[in-house]
Structure 1
Amino acid sequence: MSDRQSSLRLAVGGDHAGFPLKQMVTERYAGLVVELIDCGTHDDSPSDYPDFAVEVAEKINGGLADRGLLICGSGVGVSVAANKIAGIRAAICHDTYSAHQGVEHDDMNVLCIGGRIIGSALAFEIIDAFLAARYTPEERHARRLQKILALEED
């Protein structure tokens, strides 16, 4: 566990399809980040993934969380929903390279994972890479990020 990971506040949410993996994630990371905010769901009853994308986004945009993690069956639904919310840069990542590179180059603040796509061991590696990464505001990254932020204004 890096110092970077242990100093982050992480908001975690997911629907019923992501619930089993979300439970493993919350148990594993509760003591590894400075604060873990469980945005639900809290059981495997049918639920709607956009609701949890909103909950996680509100924690980030409200300054209560530094990063977010969303888990649904494929990761696609929560990614689509989260990216509709201003201030959120979410991506589905099922490999460690994308998880850290998305933060380093694109200032990604929400990681999306498919609970029915990958197992817990790989999910933990991906989450570790995401949490350890830092945005590197090199000129090309900052220029591209400004263009992304401008899209929210249109």
Structure 2
Amino acid sequence: MTSLQILQESDFDAVWTIFKSVFEHKYITEFHVAWTTRNSSLSFGIFDEQRILVGFLLTKQIQNNHQQIEFIGVSPTIQKGGIGTHLLRKVLDDATHNHYMVTLIPVNDERIIGWYKKHGFQNYGQPRISSFTGDLEQVMIYDIQSSGRQTNS
């Protein structure tokens, strides 16, 4: 049994441990910026029954109606078990219900980009060079209207 909870400052070490096991070294500076500027009410962790963090999602508020997903990380031993999808769905359901836009800049990996597209994201604008890594990156946007999801409001 797992539980989804809002991340607290005290969860940093556990988030950091998963981050280091999932992401390349070149994303460290970007991660620290994301952690310190995260939207604390929309950044989540999934914890197992021993309250061990197994996955996390960090968002940043860009504007009142715009959240950006900064990082999603899942412990390598349980990837492909639905943890990342559960975290992503939590943010996308909130966006649909509260009518705000969600963007992200995925790592340059076709498998990961395909995963986001499967969940309703699409490319937005022209690719640009990352100020953190120097990599070419493509912004993706979640379109509530074209996602086919209905709101309860």
- Tell which has more relative contact order, 1 or 2 (C-alpha 8 A, sep 6+): 1
Which structure has more strand as a fraction of its residues?
A: 2
Larger Cα-atom Rg: 2
Give the TM-score range, shorter chain: 0.3 to 0.5
Which structure has more helix as a fraction of its residues?
A: 1
